[in-house]
């Protein structure tokens, strides 16, 4: 399958893609931003114990804090950010979002109540909403389609490394500051140790955001005329809904399949540290080290292997490569996750949770590549945002909340959080695999229509 379709008679030829060095540099910078976003997002999952102790909240409330509050604003602001990214400079969209979520992360450190922390988490979600629609739109204009999944996989490594750093460095920082009930930071004064962690993680992000101005804004390919009046957000989603109606079965398979996996991964990401502490009695430092290594190793190799294999499948003419590959991975990941989360043996847990992470870690690369291969250029940012606001909202809010609620109300024990997590895995992942694998025909039709 060629990189670029031959233009029809009388049509203007597609411009050449930028040099690979430029494209890959942009990918690395965007991956750094993704790293920062995940680090800021997930550091709170290592602070369950001290936050619950100081603010007096339950597992269900923490699931609400780490899921619903973040997800709601992530989705609502994402709807606007996607439409903005389709019409204005995507560099500025990313820069603005990074600045907002970094400041909001630092503000989490000022919280003296559940309500204040909830408000700060809303700011984190609002800022992070800008990244995915702008970044994936840029990558789709930087790489031909038979290299796109690998490029998005490299970008998605930022998520993996961010999660690993949240566990590794977060565990180290928490272990260091938790030796004292309060910590004195320069210019900020004395605060609780868990509050200091948010400042240490959040403040550098505002400086890192300036890297976006070293990345050129890529040429938009196949761009249609779009409105930039004050009504452009409504117009963008009106056009997107019309487009979705042309391929309803494809979007149903995509949204339900990847959405169910998203709920599982968000939930396990929120509760794994608590599970390890409650089940094995490990301290922050050991939890951070083990989780950091598991997430880092599996999350680096998983997306890269997936991206290379999927791109090879695309070059051999498979238009359903993302659905076929990821659906198969999810089918194998389900039993691995159940074994890991119900085991009382640390060794068994480590082996099977590593396999689980390895198989599921390419979700971002597969879901975003599948969307952007089908969606017109002028609707790509809008499409990724709409996906985040619908499917992403369900996954981000339902996963952590459902796992915490099952632990509280079905098993009636904090020590049973693993069973709550395993129950969600057993319910969601087999259905996700079924939706993706049976949706392959619809993806082939949608990609063929986009190419035509």
What would the pLDDT profile of 125-177 be if each residue is shown by its tens digit?
A: 888 888 988 998 899 889 988 888 888 888 888 877 777 776 676 666 666 65
Residue 355 has pLDDT above 90, yes or no: yes
Q: Please, where are the H alpha helices in 178-283?
A: 193-202, 205-208, 232-244, 248-280
With a CB cutoff of 8 Å and minimum separation 6, the contacts of 241 are: none
CA distance 357 to 163: 12
CA dihedral 234, 240, 246, 252 (to 10 degrees): -110
8 A C-beta contact, residue 168 and residue 286 = no
What tokens appear for 400 in the block? 């952590």
- 358-412 pLDDT, tens digit per residue, is 999 889 889 988 998 898 888 888 888 888 888 877 777 778 778 888 877 887 7
72-103 in b/e burial notation, b at 16+ Cβ within 10 A? bbbbbbbbbbbbbbbbeebbbbbbbbbbbbbb
Tell me the whole-structure pTM to 2 decimals.
Answer: 0.72
Q: How confident is the model at residue 9, as a pLDDT? A: 43
Q: Rounded CA gap, 424 and 263, in Å? A: 9
- Give me the torsion for CA of 258, 263, 266, 267, rounded to 10°: -150
Residues 259, 391: contact at Cβ < 8 Å?
A: yes
Token pair, residue 406, equals 């099952």
Domain 20-218+233-451 has CATH 1.20.1250.20: yes
């Amino acid at each position: 399958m060629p990189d670029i379709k031959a233009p029809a008679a009388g049509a203007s030829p597609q411009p050449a893609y930028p040099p690979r060095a430029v494209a890959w540099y942009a990918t690395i910078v965007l991956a750094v931003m993704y790293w920062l976003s995940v680090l800021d997002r997930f550091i709170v999952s290592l602070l369950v114990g001290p936050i619950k102790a100081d603010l007096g909240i339950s597992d269900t409330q923490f699931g609400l804090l780490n899921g619903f509050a973040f997800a709601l604003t992530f989705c609502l602001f994402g709807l606007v950010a996607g439409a903005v990214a389709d019409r204005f400079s995507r560099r500025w969209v990313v820069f603005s979002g990074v600045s907002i979520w970094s400041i909001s992360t630092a503000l989490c450190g000022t919280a003296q109540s559940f309500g204040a922390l909830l408000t700060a988490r809303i700011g984190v979600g609002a800022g992070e909403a800008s990244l995915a629609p702008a970044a994936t739109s840029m990558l789709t204009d930087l790489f031909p389609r038979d290299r796109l999944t690998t490029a998005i996989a490299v970008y998605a490594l930022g998520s993996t490394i961010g999660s690993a750093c949240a566990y590794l460095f977060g565990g180290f920082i928490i272990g260091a500051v938790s030796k004292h009930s309060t910590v004195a930071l320069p210019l900020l004064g004395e605060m609780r140790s868990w509050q200091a962690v948010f400042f240490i993680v959040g403040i550098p992000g505002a400086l890192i955001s300036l890297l976006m101005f070293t990345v050129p804004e890529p040429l938009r390919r196949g761009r249609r005329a779009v409105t930039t009046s004050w009504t452009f957000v409504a117009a963008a989603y009106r056009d997107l809904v019309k487009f979705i109606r042309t391929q309803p079965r494809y979007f149903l398979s995509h949204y339900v399949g990847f959405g169910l996996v998203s709920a599982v991964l968000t939930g396990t990401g929120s509760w794994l540290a608590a599970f390890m502490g409650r089940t094995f009695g490990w301290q922050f430092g050991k939890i951070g080290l083990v989780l950091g290594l598991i997430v880092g190793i599996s999350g680096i190799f998983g997306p890269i292997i997936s991206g290379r294999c999927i791109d090879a499948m695309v070059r051999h003419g498979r238009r359903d490569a993302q659905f076929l590959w990821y659906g198969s991975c999810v089918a194998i990941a389900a039993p691995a996750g159940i074994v890991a989360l119900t085991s009382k043996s640390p060794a068994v847990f480590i082996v099977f949770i590593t396999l689980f992470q390895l198989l599921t870690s390419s979700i971002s690369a597969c879901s975003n590549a599948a969307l952007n291969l089908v969606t017109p250029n002028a609707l790509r940012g809008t499409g990724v945002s709409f996906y985040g606001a619908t499917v992403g909202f369900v996954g981000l809010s339902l996963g952590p909340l459902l796992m915490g609620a099952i632990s509280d109300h079905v098993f009636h024990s904090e020590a049973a959080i693993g069973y709550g997590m395993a129950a969600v895995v057993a319910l969601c992942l087999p259905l996700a695999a079924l939706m993706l694998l049976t949706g392959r025909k619809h993806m082939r039709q949608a990609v063929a229509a986009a190419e035509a």
